[in-house]
A and B are shown apart, each in its own frame.
Chain A
Amino acid sequence: MGEFAATADASAILTTIGLGSCLGIALLDPGGRAAGLAHVMFPQARQPDAERPGRYADTAVTALLAALARLGSPASGLCAVLAGGARMFSFKGASGPDIGASNLAATQEVLSLAGIPICASATGGSSGRSIRIQAADGVVRVREAGIDTELYRPPPTRQGAGASR
């Protein structure tokens, strides 16, 4: 929760489990092999939190972009996959307003500003989700209500000519 990671290691699997109102933001480089994943809890950072940028949608996207750039994947080639942002309880109170929807809206805005398209998403509703990314092929799987589904598979590229859709 509130953390992020990026990798160019083809054997890596990036995963975050139990997303409720939290939102999983995956940034993928379909051409290259790099991938990043953040588990954001809140829409906006009230003040810069250098320690844990992964907690907030705005700072998490910035941090992921920087990490992916260091791995040789510039923002221009990336696309985003989103999962989470549910509303699991209807009461107000500790959960306050609909944090899930706010997380999603803030993320859409910051991705749009960065010029990154959203190529797949499983968001909203009232179910929790887990997200798993295989760095080797960029396939994103989502677990929701006990069922695993493939949410996104990158189109075949020059490097991955043998891969089938």
Chain B
Amino acid sequence: MRSLPELLDHAGAERGQMSHAHTDIELDALREVANIGSSTAATAMSSLIGIAVEVSTPSAYAMPLADAIERVGPGEMIVTIVAVPVSGDLDALVLMILGPSTERAACKLIGVEADSDVGRSALAELGNILAASYIGALSTLTGLSLEAAPPERVRDMLRAVLSSALLSDAGDDQVIVLESTVSVAVQECSLTFLFVPTRGSVDEIREPVRVAT
């Protein structure tokens, strides 16, 4: 079986020929990573707000950046994104995406006013707590040493924010995205988590996961 980085290199050389059966197996292992991460984040959120929180079945995909962004939502939709860069044994970005209704609902749940300075910094802090638990779970699962940098919160058009966060020198042919959604049952409040390892880092999480599953 070829490793993901090899597949990625291959895809870079022969773009549009990523329909290898291997990829599904590789992505299954990564899906497990997203599952552990978002379940742990959901537990953290539930204990923070005192309400039950549901976690969707995560998806993992490898596709061109433009297509990956398209999957998340309409390009001009105004969203709040809390981004936490991860470094250590691997480099990655954890992105927490809140749509307009979720932003209001999340502020209400944590008891702050939306569209205020306090509300904005509370959302960034919420993102920090959830991303930290996501990353912590990942670190425990894989045995990798991972450090989270301070969160940055940006509110703008979905495509503008995601493309700016995810464009790198490595190019845009194939990005690996682990996506999971955490929602609060009684409110119109659903957060999407994206975990995006940078190219070359993918093997680091995939290998231990394969042993673990």
Contacts and interface: CB of A to CB of B under 8 A. Distances in A.
A2 B172 contact: yes
A94 B196 contact: yes
Contact of A89 (B65, B83, B196): B83
Contacts of A20: 156-157, 159-164
Nearest to B78: A146
B171 to A, nearest CB: 8
B66 A96 contact: no
B160 A18 contact: yes
B168 interface: yes
Interface residues of A, number: 33
Interface string B136-161: 00000000000001001010111111
Provide the main secondary structure of the chain B interface. Answer: mixed
A17 interface: yes
A154 B40 CA distance: 56
Chain A interface mostly: loop
B156 A128 contact: yes
A11 interface: no
A51 B64 CA distance: 14
B167 A21 contact: yes
A135 interface: no
A89 B163 contact: no
Contacts of B76: 17-18, 130, 143
Nearest to A52: B15
A147 to B, nearest CB: 12
Interface in B159-180: 159-169, 171-172
Interface of B: 15, 65-66, 69, 75-76, 78, 83, 85, 87, 91, 93, 149, 152, 154, 156-169, 171-172, 196, 198
